[in-house]
Amino acid sequence: MAVLKSLSSVLAAAALIVPGVLGFQLAPRDAISNDAYPFCNPATDNECILNGKYLFPTLEFSLESSLGNAAFLQYLPTSTFSLTQWTNNKMPQACYHWGAEYYKFNPREFIMYNVTFADCPQPFVVCYHSKAQKTITQIATEISRIPVKLRQSTTAYLAFSDLQVDNPAYTDYIAAWSPDGIIMGRAQAYFPAALIHEVTHSMDRSILSPTKPNPWGFGTSFSESSTWISAENADGYAIAAYGTKSHVENFAEAGRAVMLDAVYPGGLAAFTGNNPNLTQISNQLSTFKAAAASYYVTGGTCDLAVKFPYPTVLVDIPPATPTITAGPTATATPYGQCEFILLFLFSPLSRCDSG
């Protein structure tokens, strides 16, 4: 995901995935049209793939309230885990860079946890915002649903507060940045359908990368290889509406479809009520499975030879910046508070890489 590209702001009622500065983010979908192809119109966007066509009737697997997410909640088992809170006043460098430097959260409001799942001896790190609207246990539980073979392409998770008051500068939802093995987003975005899409982005450029320098490193995306693009062209339809935006996004949507096919009783055909148009994406599903099916099954344990390494580059959390007063002393003052809830307004973003 390497070329910078502008993205207009969007406002919507339902959610899908849009590319963002970090790579790929869940964001609202425009729900204002009954057009079968509402996302990428070749007449106005020359970067659409497959002439803007995608499987229809659509796969309902994007929103937290979707049938697909309900299926993931029912059929993706959780893994038991233990939580160990950090006490060294440090953050992983990636958490500090994206959470504090880039997204402008107060680093002193984060609590770092090692989360050790029963299916992997190497812990993952959750950098948890103390005002997040889901508990650390809820966040870790949702991460645990990601099958370990897929989850091992990550090492850290940033969970932000959902309230605009806690950081007016943050207007995004959830994103992946594979070079750091990190997923970052507001707490409400930690649900299986969103996480599977984002972690598929991470795996696309790490474990599956045809140019990665070592088993866990990152390189070019498999989704931009001739193998994947040939499968798309053979079908002529993207997996889902947002998949028409790019080969990389279409691949991440395929990850959710393959996961449903793996865990839903009767597979994707049963989930869709035997949608006769599933043949429109058959080459993509078979190509995806040939490359990655083993990562989309439940059970097993992580492979430490390919797992993204535990973060060892740490940053000291800076002390509070004092506010200079008219008196002879300076005292630290907390961030101001107000009451305003973000209604999914998205500011212009730019794309620099596929996470």
pLDDT (tens digit per residue) in 204-223:
999 999 998 877 778 899 99
Is the confidence at residue 264, as pLDDT, over 80?
Answer: yes
Q: Are 355 and 24 in contact (CB under 8 A)?
A: yes
In this structure, what token pair is assigned to residue 309? Answer: 């390494």
Instruction: Out of 19-23, 71-75, 330-334, give the one with best mean pLDDT.
Output: 71-75
More confident: 281 or 344: 281
Residue 48 lies in a domain: yes
Residue 11 lies in a domain: no
Is residue 254 classed as helix, strand or coil in its secondary structure?
Answer: helix
Residue 339 lies in a domain: no
d(CA 268, CA 257) in angstroms, rounded, equals: 7
Buried b / exposed e along 175-194 (16+ C-beta atoms within 10 A): bbbbbbbbbbbbbbbbbbbb
Residue 24 lies in a domain: no
Q: Which of 22, 44, 29, 34 is nearest to 99 (CA)?
A: 22
Residue 9 lies in a domain: no
Burial of 279 (0-12, 13-18, 19+ CB in 10 A): exposed
Using pLDDT thresholds of 50, 70 and 90, give the confidence band for residue 340.
very low
- The half-sphere exposure of 92 on its side-chain side, counting CA atoms within 13 A, is 23
The pLDDT assigned to 268 comes to 96
Mind listing the pLDDT tens digit for each residue in 161-175?
999 889 998 988 899
Using pLDDT thresholds of 50, 70 and 90, give the confidence band for residue 298.
very high
Residue 186 lies in a domain: yes
The pLDDT assigned to 351 comes to 31
The pLDDT assigned to 353 comes to 35
Average pLDDT over residues 79-89: 98
Average pLDDT over residues 8-13: 24
Return the sign of the alpha-carbon dihedral for residues 125, 126, 129, 135. negative
Using pLDDT thresholds of 50, 70 and 90, give the confidence band for residue 241.
confident
Average pLDDT over residues 240-267: 95
The pLDDT assigned to 114 comes to 98
Domain count, the chain: 1
Q: What's the N-to-C CA distance of the chain in angstroms?
A: 7
Mind listing the pLDDT tens digit for each residue in 34-76?
444 457 878 888 889 999 899 988 899 988 999 999 999 999 9
Is the confidence at residue 153, as pLDDT, over 80?
Answer: yes
d(CA 348, CA 355) in angstroms, rounded, equals: 18
Q: What are the Cα distances from residue 103, in Å, to 113, 185, 345?
A: 20, 10, 16
The pLDDT assigned to 214 comes to 79
Residue 253 lies in a domain: yes
Residue 29 lies in a domain: no
Which residues span the domain enclosing 64? 40-314
Provide the β-strand partners of residue 349.
7
In this structure, what token pair is assigned to residue 163? Answer: 């309230």
Q: Which of 124, 125, 122 is nearest to 96 (CA)?
A: 125
Average pLDDT over residues 343-351: 29
The pLDDT assigned to 242 comes to 82
Element (H, E) at 113: strand 110-117
Number of residues written out for the chain = 355
The pLDDT assigned to 7 comes to 25
The pLDDT assigned to 35 comes to 47
Is the confidence at residue 144, as pLDDT, over 80?
Answer: yes
The pLDDT assigned to 216 comes to 75
- Percent of the chain topping pLDDT 90: 68
Average pLDDT over residues 239-245: 90
What is the model's pTM? 0.81
Mind listing the pLDDT tens digit for each residue in 105-115?
999 999 999 99
The pLDDT assigned to 322 comes to 59
Using pLDDT thresholds of 50, 70 and 90, give the confidence band for residue 297.
very high
Return the sign of the alpha-carbon dihedral for residues 159, 164, 166, 172. positive
In this structure, what token pair is assigned to residue 344? Answer: 């999914």
Burial of 108 (0-12, 13-18, 19+ CB in 10 A): middle
Is the confidence at residue 348, as pLDDT, over 60?
Answer: no
d(CA 162, CA 189) in angstroms, rounded, equals: 9
Is the confidence at residue 9, as pLDDT, over 70?
Answer: no
Mean pLDDT of the chain: 82
